[in-house]
Chain A
Amino acid sequence: MAKVTVDGIVVEVPNGSTVLQACELAGKEIPRFCYHERLSIAGNCRMCLVEIEKAPKPVASCAFPVADNMVVKTDTPMVRNGRRGVMEFLLINHPLDCPICDQGGECDLQDQALGYGMDHTRYEENKRAVKDKNLGPLVKTVMTRCIHCTRCIRFVTEIAGVPDLGATSRGESLEVGTYVEKALGSELSGNIIDLCPVGALTSKPYAFVARPWELKKTDSVDVLDAVGTNIRIDSRGPEVLRILPRLNEEVNEEWLADKARFSMDGLKRRRLDRPWVRRDGKLVQATWGDAFTVIAERLQGVAGERIGALAGDLCDAESMVALKDLLTALGSANLDCRQDGVLLQAGRRDFYTFNSTIAAIEEADALLLIGTNPRREAPVINARIRKRWLASKMLIGLIGETAELTYDFQHVGGDAGAFDGLRDASAGFGKTLADANKPMVIVGQPALRQPGVLAAVWELAGAIGALAGEWHGFNVLHTAAARVGALDLGFVPGQGGRDLAGMLNGGVDVLWLLGADEFDTARIGRNTFVIYQGHHGDRGAARADVILPGSAYTEKSGTYVNTEGRVQRGLRAVYPPGEAREDWTIIRALSEVLGKTLPYDDLPGVRARLEQVNPVFGRTNFLPRFGVSDRSGPGQGSGRASGPFGVAIENYYQTDPISRASPTMAACTETFATTPLLQAAE
């Protein structure tokens, strides 16, 4: 530890810290453009100048290591003059176009120019002009505004692992760009918009849409993958205008995947904003009363076991528990949430969650990926794996389809047959896993579709020492935000109930789809009466006999459980469009019409019911770390695993009703279809 005095405040900082970190610890704010805690130090903006006693010149604090008994001054004439000089230099070529710049109001340069800028310029020369770059459909560039902090270059190189950006040429003609024109082939590319301290990189879909002070900011949780990324929804009136990440060190740090950030224009398109009822083979508009009457009439005399319900991938836990309760009241145990046919059971929680927790990826020393492509399924988790790999080249093995994952890995095999080879602790990747102190196994959904794989992976995890009292290295990576919550609620076939396959092909007479769009609706029996409750006119709604318009995740206060089993709550940012309602209230209202009134009529009531069904819902945000107390594995089941696992997500950009309705995501699909995203060089 080194003792450093900052403006008379004595702080102790670890050796190797920078002067800037010491100043922060002392509560002194240091202006900066290029420095960012999660990126390597560049030291090229020079805005963070401080005075250090006995140093002849101001020192760039972000790149200067502390020494014991150092005396730092952050507010002296020398410091202020230095920073003013730096600011003047930065503004020589920076255009005065704040009124038409999307960064206006949340611009680091604007804010710091207020403190250190001059009221006039001493330069009469023309400003430098730089040609804009085309980085694809997501990131808009106005390169004349660039101050060459290189944060974007460092982000794509270090965190995203797609080194496409660089600074070419030098001096007056230095330019940040790709040199060869191409779109940024990263699923995390939107984060460079947040990182850019000026308006050089802004959001293309959000261009000229709003000013930050006009927006209502609502904390929520992303549902377009199972990571549970913490987000902030910026809305104005009835419209969601943009989505930004929120800091959560345990989940997403400060990153957000592109699909989550840019899909919100899908929330305005193909929406179900009123009830519809099929009459004479055609869907016609109806009132809520009509729709409920039609359902009540159709359910008349239908036995409980002829009714079924499927929960989709974006559902909140409240609506699922309400639907489960209604089905139970109707005498049905036909429930399923596993649209992709994975063989996961409700029950013991560590058989279906990401037990190590996302943050613990940084502690692991060997990793085995089974039938998963985290880059497509959970880009933010993939960034965490890359971070761990960069820190000390963790050895990573992959069983399944090979892909460009932004880190090196050893391809161990293509199917379940590769498990046996890994038991050999004397050679190959089996030895790597056996030698590791904290080995980690991540199994993806495609692998879990094959019988026996869950049990085999659990057993393998035990054999390599991943199931220890202090370390739980068995992890399931989900792709659906609703899945873990649904399993926690037991939204799976009850005693004698039918599963997805059993309900299709006429297995039930009435089928309730709660936002379920990710299965082949052609397999629903011809005479099955389909109730679709959801927010988008997607596959499920097309097949429906009655459509009940629900709300999307931005329009309801919902509880979601991420792949780790972390219970998180999102708040409502805007109201659902038209006649649409919050989903659990629809089910509650219908239950009254059916004479099976559910025993809760406000949100706290539903949440109390959630906690009653499974106590995990009582503990939000916080997730305790735990080891393995019971090593017995899940049942083998019948059948044998065979053949390649396949992939969970073919097209990263369009995986759910919201992103399928989004023009931005369609543009991404088009852009990256020609240059296959995941086989991109580097």
Chain B
Amino acid sequence: MTETNSSNGVQPESFAWDAESEAAIGRVVAKYPPGKQASGVIPLLYIVQNQMGRQTGSAWIPRAAMDAVAHRLGMAPIRVYEVATFYLMFNTKPIGKWHLQVCTTTPCWLRGSDAVVEACKAATGIGAFGETSEDGLFTMTEVECLGACVNAPVLQVNDDFYEDLDADSTRQLLDALRRDAPPRPGSVTGRQTSAPAGGPTTLTTLQNLGPPPPDAVQPPRER
């Protein structure tokens, strides 16, 4: 995983924080006592990744940005490189606009993740895991358990989970993504959170209350 100084041409020369990132950094750094700012390295790497996503459409972390994080937190650059390369959630190479993270761990695999993988390959033209489609829109990665086995198989697109997929629904999902109209995250079959498919079998009287409003289910994310 060693980068070289004469990197492959994709590494930008410099990295500058934008206003939105600056505000987010302020919130992160304030959480830690003075002298312990290095604890904020993971949130800051996410901030970099989000900013790159906003600015270039490819949410990844260039080396110049790792240096900027190190400088900002007063740590040695190598300590940031270690963290950024350790976690698979941080992309150290450019990726497509939509990062398709297909879970292929046993529960998802039993429930048909192979079909999801095939559908992704067919729809995007990607040949294997880790590749990016020619139009630069999609990168497909194989990931281990995402913790949503009840609604297997699962596909994580950027930060959102799409569950209960099969070949058809995957194709529709990718079409929507291509139109830049991502559908509402969650089960694509309309299942209420992780309740049994077809509706609850216990506590059925609570059905009268109806499903909670969407914003109550998903509080706005803040990092």
User: Would B79 and A179 count as touching, CB distance under 8 A?
Assistant: no
19 A-B contact pairs sorted by A residue (CB < 8 Å): A157-B76, A163-B78, A163-B79, A164-B76, A166-B82, A169-B1, A169-B86, A175-B1, A177-B2, A178-B2, A178-B78, A179-B1, A179-B2, A179-B78, A180-B3, A180-B77, A181-B3, A181-B5, A682-B77
Chain A residues, Cβ within 8 Å of B5: 180-182
Q: Does B85 contact A (CB under 8 A)?
A: yes
Chain B contacts with A in 39-63, Cβ cutoff 8 A: 63
Chain A residues, Cβ within 8 Å of B3: 179-181
Chain A contacts with B in 651-682, Cβ cutoff 8 A: 681-682
Distance in angstroms between the alpha carbons of A165 and B5 in the assembled complex:
16
List the count of A-B residue pairs having beta carbons below 8 Å apart: 52
One of A133, A170, A681 near B86 (C-beta < 8 A): A170
Distance in angstroms between the alpha carbons of A166 and B78 in the assembled complex:
6
Interface residues of B (CB under 8 A from A): 1-5, 63, 76-79, 81-82, 85-86
What is the distance, in angstroms, from B156's C-beta to the closest C-beta of chain A? 20
Distance in angstroms between the alpha carbons of A167 and B2 in the assembled complex:
10
Given contacts A166-B82, A167-B82, A169-B85, contact A682 B1 (CB under 8 A): no
User: Would A181 and B1 count as touching, CB distance under 8 A?
Assistant: no
Chain B residues, Cβ within 8 Å of A182: 5
Distance in angstroms between the alpha carbons of A166 and B79 in the assembled complex:
7
What is the distance, in angstroms, from B210's C-beta to the closest C-beta of chain A? 45
Q: Does A437 contact B (CB under 8 A)?
A: no
* Chain B residue nearest in CB terms to A131: B2
What is the distance, in angstroms, from A637's C-beta to the closest C-beta of chain B? 45
Distance in angstroms between the alpha carbons of A682 and B77 in the assembled complex:
9
User: Would B81 and A168 count as touching, CB distance under 8 A?
Assistant: yes
Chain B residues, Cβ within 8 Å of A169: 1, 85-86
Distance in angstroms between the alpha carbons of A682 and B74 in the assembled complex:
10
What is the distance, in angstroms, from B148's C-beta to the closest C-beta of chain A? 23
* Chain B residue nearest in CB terms to A153: B78
What is the distance, in angstroms, from B91's C-beta to the closest C-beta of chain A? 13
* Chain A residue nearest in CB terms to B2: A177
Distance in angstroms between the alpha carbons of A181 and B1 in the assembled complex:
11
Interface string of A144-187 (1 = CB under 8 A from B): 00000000000001000001111111100101011111100000
Chain A residues, Cβ within 8 Å of B85: 168-170, 179
Distance in angstroms between the alpha carbons of A133 and B2 in the assembled complex:
9
Known contacts A173-B1, A181-B5, then 13 further A-B pairs from the complex at CB < 8 Å, ordered by chain A residue:
A133-B2, A157-B76, A165-B78, A166-B82, A168-B85, A168-B86, A169-B85, A175-B1, A175-B2, A177-B2, A178-B2, A180-B4, A181-B4
What is the distance, in angstroms, from B48's C-beta to the closest C-beta of chain A? 16
Given contacts A169-B1, A682-B76, contact A179 B81 (CB under 8 A): yes
Chain A residues, Cβ within 8 Å of B4: 180-181
Distance in angstroms between the alpha carbons of A170 and B4 in the assembled complex:
19
One of A133, A163, A168, A170 near B76 (C-beta < 8 A): A163
Distance in angstroms between the alpha carbons of A601 and B9 in the assembled complex:
71
Distance in angstroms between the alpha carbons of A163 and B78 in the assembled complex:
7
Chain B residues, Cβ within 8 Å of A175: 1-2
Main secondary structure of the interface of B (DSSP, over half): helix
Chain B residues, Cβ within 8 Å of A177: 2
Chain B residues, Cβ within 8 Å of A157: 76
Distance in angstroms between the alpha carbons of A280 and B78 in the assembled complex:
62
Interface string of A10-37 (1 = CB under 8 A from B): 0000000000000000000000000000
What is the distance, in angstroms, from A175's C-beta to the closest C-beta of chain B? 6
What is the distance, in angstroms, from B216's C-beta to the closest C-beta of chain A? 37
* Chain A residue nearest in CB terms to B86: A170
Distance in angstroms between the alpha carbons of A164 and B1 in the assembled complex:
16
Chain A residues, Cβ within 8 Å of B77: 180, 681-682
Distance in angstroms between the alpha carbons of A286 and B197 in the assembled complex:
104
What is the distance, in angstroms, from A270's C-beta to the closest C-beta of chain B? 35
Chain A residues, Cβ within 8 Å of B81: 166, 168, 179-180
Ranked nearest first, the 4 interchain pairs of A and B with the lowest CB-CB distance are: A163-B76, A166-B78, A169-B1, A179-B81
What is the distance, in angstroms, from A337's C-beta to the closest C-beta of chain B? 42
Distance in angstroms between the alpha carbons of A663 and B11 in the assembled complex:
36
Chain B residues, Cβ within 8 Å of A682: 76-77
* Chain A residue nearest in CB terms to B66: A179
Distance in angstroms between the alpha carbons of A164 and B82 in the assembled complex:
11
User: Would A164 and B78 count as touching, CB distance under 8 A?
Assistant: yes
Among A131, A175, A180, A682: residue with most chain B CB under 10 A: A180
Chain A residues, Cβ within 8 Å of B2: 131, 133, 168, 175, 177-179, 181
Distance in angstroms between the alpha carbons of A182 and B1 in the assembled complex:
15
Distance in angstroms between the alpha carbons of A348 and B195 in the assembled complex:
90
Chain A residues, Cβ within 8 Å of B79: 163, 166
Distance in angstroms between the alpha carbons of A163 and B3 in the assembled complex:
17
Chain B residues, Cβ within 8 Å of A166: 78-79, 81-82
Chain B residues, Cβ within 8 Å of A164: 76, 78
Among B77, B78, B85: residue with most chain A CB under 10 A: B78
What is the distance, in angstroms, from B86's C-beta to the closest C-beta of chain A? 5
What is the distance, in angstroms, from A156's C-beta to the closest C-beta of chain B? 9
What is the distance, in angstroms, from B183's C-beta to the closest C-beta of chain A? 34
Chain B residues, Cβ within 8 Å of A167: 82
What is the distance, in angstroms, from B37's C-beta to the closest C-beta of chain A? 16
Distance in angstroms between the alpha carbons of A124 and B18 in the assembled complex:
52
Chain A residues, Cβ within 8 Å of B78: 163-166, 178-179
Chain A residues, Cβ within 8 Å of B1: 168-169, 173, 175, 179
Distance in angstroms between the alpha carbons of A180 and B77 in the assembled complex:
10
What is the distance, in angstroms, from A158's C-beta to the closest C-beta of chain B? 12
* Chain B residue nearest in CB terms to A170: B86
Among B1, B3, B4, B63: residue with most chain A CB under 10 A: B1
What is the distance, in angstroms, from A362's C-beta to the closest C-beta of chain B? 24
What is the distance, in angstroms, from A183's C-beta to the closest C-beta of chain B? 11
Distance in angstroms between the alpha carbons of A175 and B3 in the assembled complex:
12
